Amino acid sequence: MNGLPLAPIDRLMRRSGAERVSEDASEAMAKLITEFVDDLSSQATKLAKHAGRKTLTAEDVMLAAKEF
């Protein structure tokens, strides 16, 4: 497990139309979410550093997301 709580992930998957969600599916989604957020955060951090800042801003995150 990666540390993300599975219940909110389960709710999101159900809200998207799934009637039932296995624990394995929630764990797989949690793993993918963690990997995506790690990659996105890394790219956003590079943008902040390029701008000469230590603080990550929403703009950094949004710009990094456009690159995905």
CA distance 12 to 29: 10
Domain ranges of the chain: 22-66
pTM of the model: 0.86
Residues 14-58 have pLDDT tens digits of: 999 999 999 999 999 999 999 999 999 999 999 999 999 999 999
Fold of 22-66: Histone, subunit A (1.10.20)
Q: Residue 11 to residues 2, 14, 23: CA-CA distances in angstroms?
A: 18, 5, 12
